[in-house]
Amino acid sequence: MSRPSIKLPTTLLVLTVTLAACGTNPATPDGAAGDPDFTLSVRSGVLNINPARTGTVTVRVTRPQTPKGNVTLSLEGAHVGQGADAITGTFSADQNGERAMTLTVGANMPAGTYPVTVRGTNGAVSKTLGVTVNVERWLLVDADRSANNWTVTPAHAPDPNAAPSELDLFMRAAMSARTTDVYAVQNASMDATSIIRGPSATMMRGYTGVVWYTGNQSYQRPVTQDFDDIAAYLGGDARRFVMISPALVVNLAGAANVFQTTSPQAGDSVELTRHKAFLRDVFGVAGYNAQYVQDAFTAQPVSAPASDVGPLDVMGGQTIRAAFSPLGQTSTRGLYTTGVTGSRGENVSASVALTNDNLGELHTSKATFLGVSPDRITSPNARALLEHLLQ
């Protein structure tokens, strides 16, 4: 999906307010004795704001016992300005030396980290305070082969003349608190990789996070080029990726019913080797398993954020369940476990969701795999689970 190109403002807009002396000490007249000094502080120096949304932080100006003059506050920065491609700011009235600074992110601001500067000035005394604005924007990749995927627009929006699936509606509602674009993957045969390929790495880099779902079916899994693009995207700083695709696992050779290793094996095809490497290197998977589950089951939480959500009740009746054994590395954590069939037919505990939070050059990106489609979860906490996985 393409968005209009964004031209950042080349001029610097300065928003100013005058702050009188803090507390109960009035400022002395300019010609009288007194101290013009002051300090600036902020309760939180980082704001996470979605495009077309606002965030507020409290700025405090502390004055000496005998202050002189008034402190003027201004907001500066290369991205401070007016319009849809800039950050604007306002200050509230003084309340005992504190002012609420409200920042608004323009609707067209791309995802990224933007520094802004609060400058305080009192005569010849000038001091600054830095605040960081993290602009979040998410991409929802719809690949569930429902009616609105059969014909997609040139920009890969879902077919506006076809009804969305129940899963589509659930996923969009779950993302409603975030600024989200939808990329619809067109339905096609499994060998038509040029058609069913998802968004490119270049496109995904314009987003803070990506959620990719395929529904409870064994088709429309990501293709090899998608794996390369996802890995390249996660090579950036502070990226988040959530894959919800039992189809990816059930289509791997030998995935049915018993655990398989992601380590290369004699006889593995080039494609299978690449798919195993994707699970191992991105999600921290040591072994994988996929089953068509006839009986309802409950997945138990084993670590945060799952422990904050609670158990998940999942319906039976041909539910595709992917399950994993994590690699023995501290960055990979199983989130939910359930009993599955082991390599010798025994019942073993495996993760139906796991996360790896040590990705990218700076080790700040995170990838999470959920091995069951949310529309197969019958407990009312499915939406809360997705919300926690986005953190």
CA dihedral 364, 143, 245, 366 (to 10 degrees): 0
* pLDDT score recorded for residue 19: 47
pLDDT at 343: 64
pLDDT value at residue 220: 77
At residue 381, does pLDDT exceed 50? yes
Which residues, listed in sequence order, are joined to residue 180 by a DSSP beta bridge? 138
Residue 253 — very low, low, confident or very high, per pLDDT cuts 50/70/90? low
Q: Do domains 15-134 and 138-389 have the same CATH topology?
A: no
Distances (CA, A) of 221 to 69, 168, 197, 273, 281: 66, 16, 9, 16, 18
* Neighbouring residues of 220: CB distance < 8 A, sequence distance ≥ 6: 143, 144, 145, 149, 185, 187, 190, 196, 214, 247
Average pLDDT over residues 225-241: 92
What pLDDT sits at residue 388?
86
Residue 254's pLDDT is what?
A: 56
At 340 the pLDDT is: 80
Which ranges in 238-347 belong to alpha helices (H)?
246-250, 270-283, 306-309
Mean pLDDT of 335-363: 85
> Which of 140, 216, 136, 142 shows the shortest CA–CA distance to 175?
140
Measured CA to CA, the distance from residue 129 to residue 225 in angstroms comes to 45
Q: Give the span between the Cα atoms of 66 and 292, in whole angstroms.
A: 76
User: Of 2-6, 70-74, 76-80, which one has max mean pLDDT?
Assistant: 76-80
**Confidence band of 25 (pLDDT split at 50, 70, 90):** low
| pTM of the model as a whole | 0.78
With 0-12 / 13-18 / 19 or more C-beta atoms within 10 angstroms meaning exposed / middle / buried, residue 391 is exposed
Task: Look at 99 and 39; give whichever has higher pLDDT.
Answer: 39
Strands 209-213 and 112-122: unpaired
Task: Quote the pLDDT of residue 90.
Answer: 87
Mean pLDDT, residues 149-156 taken together: 91
Q: Is the pLDDT reported for residue 155 higher than 80?
A: yes
**Which pair of structure tokens corresponds to residue 117?**
């500067």
* 259 neighbors 351 (Cβ within 8 angstroms): no
Tell me the average pLDDT across 102-111. 90
Are 106 and 85 contacting, i.e. CB atoms less than 8 angstroms apart? yes
Q: Please state which architecture CATH assigns to domain 138-389.
A: 3-Layer(aba) Sandwich (3.40)
Confidence band for 22, pLDDT divided at 50, 70 and 90: very low
Cβ-contact 269, 295 below 8 angstroms: no
Judged against a pLDDT cut of 80, whether residue 164 lies above it is answered with yes
The pLDDT of residue 8 is 33
Over the stretch 288-335, which tens digit does the pLDDT of each residue have? 988 888 999 999 999 877 888 999 999 999 899 999 999 987 789 999
Q: Which CATH superfamily is domain 15-134 in?
A: Immunoglobulins (2.60.40.10)
Question: Which H or E run contains 383?
Answer: helix 382-389
What is the amino acid identity at position 338? T
83 near 106, Cβ under 8 Å?
yes
> Among 361, 342, 362, which residue's Cα sits nearest to residue 350?
342
Quote the percentage of the chain above a pLDDT of 90. Answer: 51
Average pLDDT, the chain: 85
Listed range (252-261, 271-280, 352-361) with the worst mean pLDDT: 252-261
pLDDT at 44 (0 to 100): 81
CB within 8 A of 165, min separation 6: which ones?
144, 146, 147, 148, 215, 375
Contacts of 267 by beta carbon, 8 Å cutoff, 6+ apart: none
Q: Residue 28: what pLDDT?
A: 60
Every domain of the chain and the residues it spans: 15-134, 138-389
CA dihedral in degrees (331, 210, 278, 223; nearest 10)? Answer: 170
The pair of three-digit structure tokens given for residue 72, joined into one six-digit string: 């003027």
- What tens digit of pLDDT does each residue of 51-67 get? 989 999 999 999 999 99
1 versus 197: which is more confidently predicted?
A: 197
